[in-house]
Structures are given as structure tokens and as C-alpha cells.
Structure 1
Amino acid sequence: MRPIGSYFIDFLTLVPMAVVQFLMARAVWRWARARGWGEGTMLGLAVLLETWAALLALGASFSTPALTMHLALPAHAVGVIQAITSLWLFASSGSYVVYRIWRRWARGTAEDIADTGRRRALQSIGYAAIAAPAAAIGYGALIGRTDFHVVEREIAVPGLHPDLENLRILQVSDFHLSAFLSEKELARAIDAANELKPHIALMTGDLVTRAGDPVATAVRQTVRLKADAGVYGCMGNHEIYAGSEDLTQRLAARSGAQFLRMENRVLKFGQGQFNLAGVDYQRAGHKELYLAGAEKLIVPGMPNFLMSHNPDVFPVAARKGFDVTFAGHTHGGQVTVEILDQSVNPARFYTRYVTGLYRIGERSCYVTRGIGTIGLPARIGATPEITLIRLKRA
């Protein structure tokens, strides 16, 4: 069952958008009434606005697994409803806010502009600005969502054996294989990952989104990863929500892939070796329990690496002795906006570790943006990522 604390971001985005949607509906109603629309037309408009509100409510409700199961809707249908709702909310709310700002600004400048051509140019600029949010969301859904990027980084590791120098570690995460990431699209990402010829491949959680999503298909694509030392993974929060933890581990094991659940493996390359550990999703509402018992996974005398879907465990992992933590979960914010030198990123509301490489002393954590999407089936300013890490001696 989804923990209550994880609904915070849902409501953080839902409440202001609900307010904007109400203001939009009121503005449309007043506009129609001022133009003397007939009773039949006004009734039709009322039905349209009520449908609008129902769509908003459905999108919020389907965040609750209990309601989904109660209505016995297929996962594909739930995903489509959520996606349509979120696309509409983001696009229309953004356009409406820009429209209100433009109207306020235009009222102040229209009196100063007597030239008709300049007024029309001003109107054209305003219309373009109003359309921009919807256009951006459309781009993020149609193109940005599957614009897979390879990111290569080097991580310095203290005490690294010379035979582990330049070891290539592939990290993929957050497939969210569901209505808005097809198996064909995921296979394209896996093919791109295999071209990197890694020594070891890591999958850091969230193969699917919800109960009913194609777990077997997601695992089938995961085990297609080719790496000298094999494929390893850990569980994400959506494996919990989907109730697919045991199934994922069992299906992967049949093909030789290992999902580590409070387990570790010592891997050897030449005369060098390192310890790789994996833990299940560490719940954000129980930070005092982060990595409880994980110290027993540490192997002295060699580098220790950790797979944890939740990047917030990094400070605890560093204290316990893990040299590198591999995480996902954040999607890099999924939809981010750059304003001058500032970034508006929703992931910053719940974590310090949004995307990229972080360090505490000599310890490192890499947070990948992942492959898929959640909620809004779009990516803007946070392209889907296939990560290749090269180890270096510190």
C-alpha cells in the first residue's frame, strides 16, 4: 500500500491546479453569460465544465490504489486516465496563468499604443506566449519522453585496485513500463545501453508503476542487458505499490539476473574485487530506519557499493561505509524549467539529491534521471537517461 507521506507531491501540484481550473471555469461561464448565450448552450457549457471537474477528480483519485482495485479497472485504463488528466491540467493551467499575466500587462500598454499594426503584433506575441506551455507539454509527451540520452561520468573511489580502474558500470532505472512506455520503446533504450559494453549492469528500481502493469515484460527487457559480470538490481517504491517484489526477483533469477534485497555479492575483476549490496525501497516516512541492518552487508578491505532506489539514504550509506551509492527515484524532476540561472524542479521539494553526482567527503552517490515517467507522461528539461559510470582511483 502506498504510504501516506508519498501523497505530498500529488497534493502539492493538485491544489494550485484545482484553483486555477476553478478560475478558468468561472471565467468561461462569465464570458458566455455576458454574450447572452441561450439556456441550451449554457446547459451544454455546464455539462462540459462538470466533465472538466470530474476529470480532475479522477486523476487525483487514481493515485489511490484502493479505489483502483475497488473499481476493478485495468491498469492500462487507469494509466491513460491519469495521463490525460495530468496533460490537460499542466497544459491548460500553464496557458491560463500566462493568459492572465498577459491580459494584465496588455491593459496597461494598450492605451499607449495607437498604431494598429503594433497592437496586432502585441496580440500575436501574447497568443504565442499563451500557447507556449501547451506546446512545451506536447513536446515533452511526444518527443522528450523517449529522447534517451547516454550520460557518462567518472567516480573516484578510495582504495580502488588497479584492475578496477576504468571499470564500466551501467545504471538504468525507473522504467515505469505501462501505458505510456511501450515494450518497443524500452527495448530501444536497452539496445542503446548494450552498445556501451559495460562490465556490470545495475537496475535501481521501479520497473513498473502499478498493480496490473506488465512485470514479466519489464523483467524480460531488463535481463536483455549484456554485461560481463551480469545484471543486478534493487526494488523501488512502485514494486511495493504493485505488489511485485517477489515476482520481479523470481522472474529475474530465472534468467540469471539478481535483485538484491538486503543482500550483497563480492565481484572480482582480475586481481581486484568490490562488494555490491542492494536494499529494498527505504520509505521516506521512516528516515530513522534508513538502511537499518545494512552495516552487515559491508565487506572490509575492498570498495563497497550500494544500490538504493531512494537517494535520500546517501548520508547514512556514507556513514556506514558504502563508497558509492547508486540511486534513482527522482526522474531528475521530470519536468523542470530554467529561469535565468535558476531551476524550478519539483523533485527539490522532497530531496536534496535530484540528479547527477553528489559527494560527502570521499563517498559518492549517483542519481540517474531514469527512463520512464510517472503521472505526467512527458519530460521537459530532464531527458531520460542511460548512465555509464567509469571507476577511477582516488
Structure 2
Amino acid sequence: MKRKTNFLPFVVIAILFFLINSYVLSGIHTLSTHPNITPAFWTFIVLITAALAYAMQRMRDNGMDIFFKIATHAFLVLFVAELVFILMLLPADVYRLFAGKPRNGYWVEFAAFLFILTILIFIYGIIKGKYAYRVIKHTLFFDDLPQSFDGFTITQISDVHAGSFQNPKAVQRGIDLIKAQQSDLFVFTGDLVNNKAEEIKPWISYFSQIKAPFGQFSILGNHDYGDYIKWENESEKSANLQQLKKYHQELGFRLLLDEHITLHKGAEQITLAGVENWGIGFGQRGDLNKAMINVQSNDFKILLSHDPTHWDEEVKKLPTKIHLTLSGHTHGMQFGIEALGIKWSPVKYRYAHWAGIASKNGRYLNINRGFGFLGFSGRIGIWPEITVIELKRSSE
């Protein structure tokens, strides 16, 4: 029996979309009553919606090609700008409705200004923001850090998502910024690609430039396993993962798969461990206990784990103390505000801690905001990050 399609959700969405645009049009009419505005407005809305629908339909055969990206981003930018316009106009309209006053043209002009400003901000985020790399530095103090490692520096990047890159010169600027930090150790905390290993191939010559005296180490993220696209068979999917691991080698990265290594300075050492992806809702492949086999309880330990929920669920509760965990995954949702003492992103409703340093019982977590981008081809307010962490021994 053929399953019936439930059209009710689509009908509800269509009605809401019509009402939203009708309200926006009413605001435009406050500024101008030219007879061509209404047909021009609805023609534009129909065209941009049709482009989105067509892009979604052809995605099965063409993937997320340039037409898909243009159509989806144009619709997204317009819709968000319309919501901003409505949020500014609606309270004033509610007030005038109860007060029996006409609509204030100056207030509509202000809402229209914010509408245009929103579009310009999104355009900046798409063209420039996604490559606006910044260095964020943290200094962390530990009572039991080996003396030889006092002042030891780590550069961390995460979430490269190489399949999204389109600007070699911009990516090279990011690589140069990483190299300029001259840290003792370099680590990459997962999501090298969006789906397929081949995505990193054009960028190997770029990321292989990164060198550090104590080495370059990496782990896998949830996107690296190829879970989000359809494969002909499991063998093809497995071969893709094996190829990705080989590309880590070509990059000069030592991939840590539920294992650890020791870093030595003179007679002292610290432990660096890495686990496969472990995250609530994104696969729990990593085996922390396996990674810690033969690690002594009094060793100073650093863990690479892509998803920060691993720290919340396992790492900070582990009987043996892991001093510092380095994660990524959230991207800070590539959208938010971090200025004037404000730190906000919609991703906070999914992750209580989504960027920067957190601590619990002397155990630290750093969440890198990501080097690349995914889905939304841009960044607004949450810029691509290169983290530099300095380890210091607490004064006695």
C-alpha cells in the first residue's frame, strides 16, 4: 500500500510564509504607495522561493552545487532580514492598534534600515567573515605541571571542513597565522572534511606547511566518518575513511585513534591522548579507557576529543584526572555576538558551554570555534579561530 503524504505541515508553513511577507509588504506600503510595488514584491518572493524549491529538488542528483548554495543563502538572508523588520515593526503596530494612532513612518524607516543592515551584515559574513581568522590566547595554571613544561604552548584548530573552502589565498592567510604562533605543539581536533576524504586533497599543500617542534597531532570528528551521505555499500564508506587516515599522514599529522603518546622534555613528560568521535547525538565511537591504558594517575594529561559533550559526560567524571581537554564541533553556530561583554549564540540552547574555556575541579576544557565553515557559507560575529594555549605552573 502506498503511503499517503501528509500535506498539512506544508500548508501551515505556506500560510505562515504568506502572512509574514504580507506584513512586510504592508510596511513597504507605508513608505511608498507606487502601484508597481505589490506585483514586483510578490514576483520577487515567488522567484526566490521557486529557486529554493528547485535547488532542493535537484540536490539529489547535483549535490550542494553553486546553484544550491546561491538559492539557499539568498532565501536565508531575505527571511532573516524580514524577521528583523517584523520584530521591529510589530511592537509599534500593537501599540498604535490599542492607541488608535496611525502607523509611524519614521519607525517604519528605522525598521527598513535594520532590514538593509541585516542583509549587508550577512553579505559581509559570506564574503569576508568566514575567512576572518583570529588568534585567541589562553594561559592556564596547574599545580602539577612538570617544571620543564612551564611555558609550553599549544596551537589548536578544529573543524576545517575542507569541502567548503573556495578561496586559496584566504586559507593561506589562516595557515600563515598558525605558523606565526610558533607554538611547541600543534593539534587538530576533528572534522577535516564535510563528507568525503577527497575534499582535503586540494588543500594538503596548505595544511602540510604547519610544523611544530613537538609534532602535529590530530583526531577524527563526526563528519570524517562519512555518516551523512549515501554510499554504494559499506566497503566504499570504509575505503573512504581509510583514505582520509592516509591524508592525515600526508598532512604530517599523527592521527590518534583511542591512544596516547608521551612528550618529553629532559627527564619529564606529559601525556597527549586522542579519542575517536564521542558525542551525544553524534556517535559514540571513542574509547577513553583504551586511550588511557598504561597512563599513570599522576601523569599530566591532555586529551583531544572532538565533541565537548564527551567532557561533560565522561572526561570530567573520570577517576584519573585529565588536566586539559581540547574540543571543537560547535562552530559557535557561525553566528552570534561576542562583544561589549556579551557572549551569545543560538548554539547555547544545544550546548551549555559552546566556546572558549570551561573548568570543573581543576579540569579544563577548551572549545575551538572552528577554522572552517559548514552549511551556512559564512560567519557573523563568531569568527574562525586559531587557539593558542600556554601551560603555566602555579606559583608555590
1:310 corresponds, among 300, 304, 307, to: 307
Please, what TM-score do these two structures have when normalized by structure 2?
0.77
Give the RMSD, CA atoms, in angstroms: 3.9
| Distance (Å, rounded) in 2 between the aligned partners of 1:280 and 1:290 | 4
In structure 2, the residue matched to 1:389 is 389
3-state SS of 1:310 partner: coil
3-state SS of 1:293 partner: helix
Q: Aligned pairs, how many?
A: 362
1:80 corresponds, among 63, 66, 70, to: 66
Contact 2:276 2:285 in 1 (8 A): no
1:139 equivalenced with 2:135 (yes/no): no
Contact 2:275 2:291 in 1 (8 A): no
Change in 2 beyond 3 A, CA 1:252/1:83 = same
3-state SS of 2:292 partner: helix
Change in 2 beyond 3 A, CA 1:383/1:48 = closer
The letter of the residue matching 1:198 is S
Contact 2:222 2:283 in 1 (8 A): no
Deviations 1:151-174 (A, max 9, x none): 111122342111101101010111
In structure 1, the residue matched to 2:266 is 270
The letter of the residue matching 2:372 is G
Please report how far the alpha carbon of residue 145 of structure 1 lies from its aligned counterpart in structure 2 after TM superposition.
1.4
Contact 1:312 1:353 in 2 (8 A): no
Q: Which stretch of the first structure deviates more once superposed, 81-90 or 214-223?
A: 81-90
| Distance (Å, rounded) in 2 between the aligned partners of 1:136 and 1:17 | 27
In structure 1, the residue matched to 2:243 is 247
1:92 equivalenced with 2:74 (yes/no): no
Deviations 1:94-152 (A, max 9, x none): 222233344445555699999xxx96644432320222221221121122211111111
| Distance (Å, rounded) in 2 between the aligned partners of 1:340 and 1:83 | 33
Please report how far the alpha carbon of residue 390 of structure 1 lies from its aligned counterpart in structure 2 after TM superposition.
0.4
| Distance (Å, rounded) in 1 between the aligned partners of 2:89 and 2:353 | 38
3-state SS of 1:214 partner: helix
User: 1:70-219 alignment to 2 at 5 Å?
Assistant: 71=61, 73=62, 78=64, 80-105=66-91, 107=93, 108=95, 121-211=106-196, 214-219=199-204
Identical residues among aligned pairs (%):
22
1:281 corresponds, among 277, 281, 289, to: 277
In structure 2, the residue matched to 1:361 is 361
Change in 2 beyond 3 A, CA 1:263/1:104 = closer
Deviations 1:298-334 (A, max 9, x none): 6114211111110111131133332111101111231
| Distance (Å, rounded) in 2 between the aligned partners of 1:89 and 1:360 | 42
| Distance (Å, rounded) in 1 between the aligned partners of 2:339 and 2:18 | 27
| Distance (Å, rounded) in 1 between the aligned partners of 2:246 and 2:170 | 24
User: 1:334-345 alignment to 2 at 5 Å?
Assistant: 334-337=334-337, 343-345=343-345
Deviations 1:245-273 (A, max 9, x none): 32222123245421111121111123321
The letter of the residue matching 1:348 is K
In structure 2, the residue matched to 1:346 is 346
**Uncovered stretches (5+) of structure 2, i.e. residues with no partner:** 1-9, 230-236
Contact 1:336 1:346 in 2 (8 A): yes
The letter of the residue matching 1:231 is Q
Change in 2 beyond 3 A, CA 1:252/1:313 = same
| Distance (Å, rounded) in 2 between the aligned partners of 1:231 and 1:363 | 23
In structure 1, the residue matched to 2:233 is none
Please report how far the alpha carbon of residue 82 of structure 1 lies from its aligned counterpart in structure 2 after TM superposition.
5.0
| Distance (Å, rounded) in 1 between the aligned partners of 2:281 and 2:123 | 34
3-state SS of 1:225 partner: coil
| Distance (Å, rounded) in 2 between the aligned partners of 1:256 and 1:130 | 47
Change in 2 beyond 3 A, CA 1:18/1:229 = farther
1:319 equivalenced with 2:317 (yes/no): yes
